Amino acid sequence: MSDPTTDRRATAIAHHLLHGGCLDPADDGDRALYEELMGNGPLYDRVAERLAGVGYALHQFFGHLGVRPERAVEGLGGNTLGLHAGHIRLLVWLWVQLVYRQIKAAARDEATEPLPGRAQSLFDFAEAPDDAPPEIAPSEVFAEFREIYSDAAIKQFLGALRKRRFIVQSRRSDPIVAGPALYVMVDPLRMEEYVVGLARRGTMALPSEPSGGTP
Amino acid sequence: MTTPGPTAADPHLADPSPAGSAPAGLAPGVRPEHIEEWDEARAILPIAPLMRSLFSSADPGDTLLKLVVLFTLAQTDGRFTKERIRALVRAIEPDRLDALVRSLYDGRWLELRARDNTYRLNPLGLFLLATLRAANFASQTPANLLVRAAEALHFGARVDGDGRTTGRLLGMLLAELETQAERAREVIASGRPRQLLRFSRREVRAQLDRVTEVLALLEQRLDTASTHFERIVRLHRAMQTILRAHEGLHRRLAEWSLRRLETTDAGYSLSALCDAVMSATDDELETGRARAVHWPRIAARVSTDQILDRHTTERRARAAARAPFVYAPPPEPTAAPIDVIADDPMSRLRQAIADAIRAIEPGESLRWGTIAPSLTDGFADAALHVALLARLHGQGRADVIRLEGMPLRIDMPSHLADLVRDLDGDAALRALEHAGVLDDLGPRGWHARITLTRLSDDR
């Protein structure tokens, strides 16, 4: 039986998610909202129902929560966000550097069994090393993209991605960290498939075997 | 419960308090038999070697005092300031007690929260205490702390049915669970992927089920009036917190699809993938964006109220933008003279009568019925003008009034009631008209036959 209070709350949260796209961990209100959703299963399900009713799916990935259009409605006209190929090239590159790297690290960790007797307490995570999210220096980005774009264009790309919360930088000289949109707005499965597809095509075009592995 | 007895070879196992003598550190006048926890502390001594690494001092008396402190704290809920510890452990001198607390803190038996300088027992210490009190170490499995604490509680409740042991173990279990609930909140708030994966591996659900099972067993043994009931309620609350956190984390892990990602990984290195992105054409990248990057679009982002509000405000704004403001002095007001005659019924009446009598010679008369049609077409206004005529009449002297210098007398017929006494309405009206009392003024109704006579100017 539906609870009117939960329904109203779910509707308000769904509206907030549709408006912002994803929750910002740096925002206190969004952070409280995230904890509320994670700790309240019925509310989470109700929000997902609300979003599904208008063609969106609630996604969470690596501690970030947001919405993406359902596949059935993707072809009805996408929101380009004003991003052109230069932005996308940088976005995909950063996704590989910041998110995909984290995915692979987590997946590898999952595959290894914990050593017996290492666990001191149920929630004792103090010894967890290398858990900080990957980051990349702006100088590396400039060094990589300067072959194709001017510095001004790269700055504009970074500013656009920063504005749309794909990346997070306190100051322009600070290291670049993946923002909530880079985790949530990008479908990891299809992005990986796409990037691997690019690599595979590049490999097939080359006469020699790729150094990174076998497709 | 059976425990190995002490052996004289181990200095820790020697009896530190021969009968009649008290170890150093007790308050003046306090004897071991006065201390409630003394025997229990002594019962722990046979396994002192197992705890030697945790207790820095080689003095068994020091160990005993520490155990006294620990047991006392373990029986009490909440966090402890130094003052509270002194109040709880009055059997030990304050200075000695402070030293013990420092030692326990250094030995990690106590955890200090810097925010308010309060201590609480380390969950690991609680587990050791619970185990010392109620468990056989040889039969313990290398499970995690919570399960072992639960087993200890189960064991203690089974072999030692007195409420005291049960209450103490419940307190320990509660402290452990509350610690875990607090950490679960931290994980849910800032958990890193690796933390969450570890959380998932440790099967919190199964562990909590074990605790639930133990609690159910205990609840069967305890009635609702038991002093432990409140603790059991708090235990359930702490478990609910952990379960909610676990549910949220489990959902996160389930939706990450990490295994699927791993299976689709074609074995390319990150640098190879980055190179592929850099060498892709713009068309390929646009295709990738359409397939993998999506941003929500809200179909209706404006409400009816907003539409109405914007319509109102923007219309003004547009009008203001089209016609820039230029100052123009306001038009001068037109000061036309007031036409008193047109507006004032009395003035109109006086004017109409003056006009009428001006047309006749002195000594001639005319009827009100000849003037009334120029003033009004209806009965109501006719009656009003008759009333005004009466007022005009009243303003004169000896039935003579002057209008524009012309003397005028107004005559009205006297009442002739005898004429109409036996007649019906219409016949009475006709009779009065015939007698010269009333005039029929058509749509203006019946009115008294008022005669206006112009007098000579010398009146």
Query: Mind listing the pLDDT tens digit for each residue in B249-259?
Result: 666 555 554 54
Q: How far is the C-alpha of B34 from the C-alpha of A17, rounded, in Å?
A: 65
3-state helix, strand, coil in chain B (%, to 5): 60, 10, 30
Q: Are B294 and A39 an interchain contact pair (Cβ–Cβ within 8 Å)?
A: no
pLDDT score at A47? 93
**CB atoms near residue A51 (< 10 Å):** 24
pLDDT score at B136? 44
Q: Are A122 and B288 an interchain contact pair (Cβ–Cβ within 8 Å)?
A: no
pLDDT score at B46? 52
Instruction: Compare B316 and B425 and report the one with higher pLDDT.
Output: B425
**Which of A11-15, B37-41, B74-78, B433-437 holds the top average pLDDT?**
A11-15
Residue B7: pLDDT band (50, 70, 90) is: very low
Instruction: Compare B326 and B216 and report the one with higher pLDDT.
Output: B326
For chain A, which residues make up each domain, given as ranges?
4-72, 85-111+130-205
A–B CB contacts, 8 A cutoff, strictly below: 250
Given a cut of 60, whether residue B444 has pLDDT beyond it is yes
pLDDT score at A107? 64
Q: Are B392 and B346 in contact (CB under 8 A)?
A: yes
Given a cut of 50, whether residue B95 has pLDDT beyond it is yes
Residue labelled with tokens 């820095």: B56
pLDDT score at B143? 45
Q: What percent of chain B has pLDDT over 90?
A: 0
Q: For residue B266, what is the nearest residue in chain A, using CA coordinates?
A: A215
| Residue B362 exposed, middle or buried by CB count within 10 Å (0-12, 13-18, 19+) | middle
Residue B13: pLDDT band (50, 70, 90) is: very low
pLDDT score at B63? 75
Contacts of A115 in chain B (CB under 8 A): none
User: What mean pLDDT comes out for the span B119-147?
Assistant: 60
Instruction: Compare A121 and A58 and report the one with higher pLDDT.
Output: A58
Instruction: Please provide the average confidence, as pLDDT, over all residues in chain B.
Output: 69
Q: Are B189 and A35 an interchain contact pair (Cβ–Cβ within 8 Å)?
A: yes
Instruction: Compare B365 and B143 and report the one with higher pLDDT.
Output: B365
Query: What are the pLDDT digits (tens) for B145-175?
Result: 556 566 555 555 444 445 555 666 666 666 6
Q: How far is the C-alpha of B218 from the C-alpha of B160, rounded, in Å?
A: 12
Given a cut of 80, whether residue B208 has pLDDT beyond it is no
Q: Are A98 and B314 in contact (CB under 8 A)?
A: no
Indicate the SS3 state at residue B451. Answer: strand
Mutate which of A198, A204, A208 to disrupt the B interface (most B C-beta within 10 Å)? A198
Residue B236: pLDDT band (50, 70, 90) is: confident
Q: How far is the C-alpha of B63 from the C-alpha of B449, rounded, in Å?
A: 134
Query: What are the pLDDT digits (tens) for A65-110?
Result: 888 887 766 655 555 566 777 888 888 889 888 888 887 776 665 4
pLDDT score at B123? 67
pLDDT score at B320? 66
Q: For residue B283, what is the nearest residue in chain A, using CA coordinates?
A: A85
Instruction: Compare B261 and A119 and report the one with higher pLDDT.
Output: B261
| CB-based burial, B176-198: b 16+ in 10 Å, e otherwise | bbbbbbebbbebbeebbbbbbbb
Is residue A163 within 8 angstroms of chain B, CB to CB?
no
Q: How far is the C-alpha of B52 from the C-alpha of B63, rounded, in Å?
A: 10
Lowest average pLDDT, out of A148-157, A163-172, B2-11, B308-317, goes to B2-11
Lowest average pLDDT, out of A15-29, A114-128, B118-132, B134-148, goes to A114-128
**CB atoms near residue A115 (< 10 Å):** 7
Query: What are the C-alpha distances in Å from B135 to residues A38, B125, B131, B228, B243?
Result: 37, 14, 5, 21, 27
Given a cut of 50, whether residue A194 has pLDDT beyond it is yes
Q: Are B268 and A212 an interchain contact pair (Cβ–Cβ within 8 Å)?
A: yes
**Which of B29-38, B79-88, B304-313 holds the top average pLDDT?**
B79-88
pLDDT score at B30? 81
Given a cut of 50, whether residue B367 has pLDDT beyond it is yes
User: What mean pLDDT comes out for the span B105-116?
Assistant: 74
Q: What percent of chain A has pLDDT over 70?
A: 74
Sign of CA dihedral B195, B199, B202, B207: positive
End-to-end CA distance of chain B, in Å? 146
Q: What percent of chain A has pLDDT over 90?
A: 13
Is residue A60 within 8 angstroms of chain B, CB to CB?
yes
φ/ψ (deg, to 5) at A123: -115, 20
User: What mean pLDDT comes out for the span B299-303?
Assistant: 53
Residue B100: pLDDT band (50, 70, 90) is: confident
- Of the partner residues B251, B274, B289, the one whose CB lies closest to the CB of residue A44: B251
Residues near A163 by Cβ (< 8 Å), separated by ≥ 6?
none
Q: Are B295 and A122 an interchain contact pair (Cβ–Cβ within 8 Å)?
A: no
- Of the partner residues A44, A88, A215, the one whose CB lies closest to the CB of residue B266: A215
User: What mean pLDDT comes out for the span B232-243?
Assistant: 70
Lowest average pLDDT, out of A158-162, B105-109, B220-224, B426-430, goes to B220-224
Lowest average pLDDT, out of A14-23, B204-213, B419-428, goes to B204-213
HSE-CB of B206 using CA atoms within 13 angstroms: 8
Lowest average pLDDT, out of B108-117, B143-152, B288-297, B436-445, goes to B143-152
User: What mean pLDDT comes out for the span B8-33?
Assistant: 59
Given a cut of 60, whether residue B8 has pLDDT beyond it is no
Residues near B17 by Cβ (< 8 Å), separated by ≥ 6?
B23, B32, B38, B42, B61, B64
pLDDT score at B96? 87
Q: Are B123 and A39 an interchain contact pair (Cβ–Cβ within 8 Å)?
A: no
pLDDT score at B335? 81
User: What mean pLDDT comes out for the span B287-295?
Assistant: 62
CA neighbor of A73 nearest in space, from B272, B298, B263: B298
Lowest average pLDDT, out of A196-200, B149-153, B235-239, B398-402, goes to B149-153
Q: Are B428 and B436 in contact (CB under 8 A)?
A: no
Is the complex ipTM more than 0.85? no
User: What mean pLDDT comes out for the span B36-54?
Assistant: 62
| CB-based burial, B215-243: b 16+ in 10 Å, e otherwise | beebeeebeeebebeebbebbeebbebbb
Residues near B184 by Cβ (< 8 Å), separated by ≥ 6?
A123, B241, B242, B245, B246
